[in-house]
Structure formats: C-alpha cells, structure tokens
Chains A and B, each alone.
Chain A
Amino acid sequence: MDIDSIADRLSSLFPGSVRGIEKEHAGDPFLVMDPARLVEVCMHLRDDQEMRFEWLMCLSGVDYPPETIAVVYHIHSQTHGQKLVLKVLLARSEPRVPSVESVWKMANFHERECYDMFGVDFEGHPDLRRILLPEDWEGHPLRKDYVYPESYRGVTNKA
C-alpha cells in the first residue's frame, strides 16, 4: 500500500486524523497526523491485516521555532515490507501528545528522551522523567534557543 492509499484508508476509518501528506521535499514523504487520535490510529496501523506495522523503528522530536515542535514516528511492517512516516506538529509553548507506549513498548525510552531533550509532554506515559540528563537539570537542550548553563552544582561548565 503506498502512502496515498494508507492516507485514504485512515481518513475513512478515522475521519480527521490525517491532516495532510507532505511529498514535496527530498527524501521520505510523511503524513501529518492529528495528535488527539494518534493512539487509536497507531493501534489500527499495528493490528490491521493489510498494514501490520509491528515495528516502531524510531521516534524523534524536531524543533521548528518559533511556533512548532514536531514528533516524528518511523514505523515499519515486517510482514509487508513497507515503511511509513507519521508526524505530529505541536504548539511549541505547550507541546503535548498522547503516548504510544501502549502500542509499541519500544516508545517508552524514546518518549522519555524526547521529553528530556524537547520538553514534550507524553500523556499516558507510565514513567515520564528525564533519561539522559540529571533529574535536576534545567532546560531542554535540543531546542534551538537553548542556553548553555554556566555551571552545574558548583562545577563550572566552561572549558
């Protein structure tokens, strides 16, 4: 199934869940999804016999200042040998999206990393806390406007 037919199928089963298809750039095309219906769409993508996207390959955050943070899901079907890219665009001031940890357990660590690096709140995640940085770290480093801390707990951060 190519990306257009997947988009049509999802739009008919979950009206309003697909907000658009982006194909005009170099590289992989992707579907822009509605965050509110993400979990049920992903559950369908994983379990439907014609799609069977059993694998979540990668979950990443991308910062598009000044207004958007995107969370990108790369999924893959071993049965049918096809890949799909889903993107949700979130408001940068308060990025919030339902967690897909109930669909693919692999998302557990990756969502924690996205929270750590971008500040995205994954609703329904069983254990959302920082994973790569200390618990009392301030700020979200991979945001484009991140300011490097001068020191941490009394130890200077300057070279």
Chain B
Amino acid sequence: MKKKQTPSQTVGPFFAYGLTPEQYDYDLTSIAVPEVGGQDVEGERIRIEGQVFDGEGAPIGDAMIEIWQADAAGRYAHSADGRGSNANFTGFGRVGTGTDPQQRFFFETIRPGAVGNGQAPHVNVVVFMRGMLSHAYTRIYFPENAKAHASDPVLSSVPAERRETLIAQLDESGAIRVYRFDIHMQGPQETVFFDV
C-alpha cells in the first residue's frame, strides 16, 4: 500500500528543552550532545565550530545542527556498514546555537576516516531552524585533503566555484585542532545544500 511522505515543518524557536535540553540546562536527559567522541574513543580529537548566517549576514541564534560521521577508521556505527564500527563511538552529535554569546555551534569529536567509494573524509550535517520549513543537508570536508577532494564524487558534483563552502578552515592556534565551518543560508558565500 503506497503512502505519501509526511510533510516537514519548521523546528520553530522553542526546540531547546525538547531536543537539546542538557545544553540549555533544562531538566531532561539529552539523547545527543555536542561532545561526540568520549575519552575511550580512538582517533584524533578535533573541534568543529561555526556560525549560521542569514541573508543579511546576521548570526542565527535559534538553529540546531546535527552531525553524523564515521569513526577514525571510516566506519559508521550502523548495521548497513558491514565492517562494524568502534563500539564506543556513536558518530552522532546535536547542538543548538542559542547558548553561545556569538551564536556559535560546536562539536567535540574525532577526525573521521575515509568511508570508501572514493569519498574524502567528511562529516554529514543537517541544519534546522525557525524559518526553515524543511531541513537542509550539507557536508564538512577538511582542508588538508585537497588531493582527495579532487576525486571525491560529491565535491566533483558541486560547481567548482561553490566547493569551498563545504571545506572547513583550520585554526591551529590552540591545543587541539579547531575547524571553522560557517553556514551561510544566502548570499555570495551561500553554503551548498544537497538533495540527499
């Protein structure tokens, strides 16, 4: 019996106590947090942070970002990945942009390995916010992998002049590597969003 998809609706401005309660100090356990890689997870610790900008360049303080990534060996914690994965690494993180004075999001995670299919290491991203009726998919790639990017099938499908919107900027000034990844909803630097 064929069914039609249930329509998407906006996450609205008040998602925090339901979806990111611990981050916003509400009294409910979070099913996902910005800290993705625990101490017992193998891999290089990295931090990913950024802002989400609207069409006037203002940072958005009521967006929610989710990431889904492979472990350091490029394996996903999911039955469809027959290689099995690092049991201590779920690969999923979630954060709201409403608890930082500059409306930044951040993830503490590990550097993902290459997952195969010729794809360069990347982090899968979903963006939700008030004013967004259907969520948007994008990806974060890492600037050290320029050679692998040249043959990445997803990056290759993106118009060359827009590819850099998917590549994070490295900041090595701190103790761990910080990758800056800003998301621009509109404008000349509009982030590439995918029809996944």
- Check if A and B associate: no
| B residues in contact (CB < 8 Å) with A | none
| A residues in contact (CB < 8 Å) with B | none
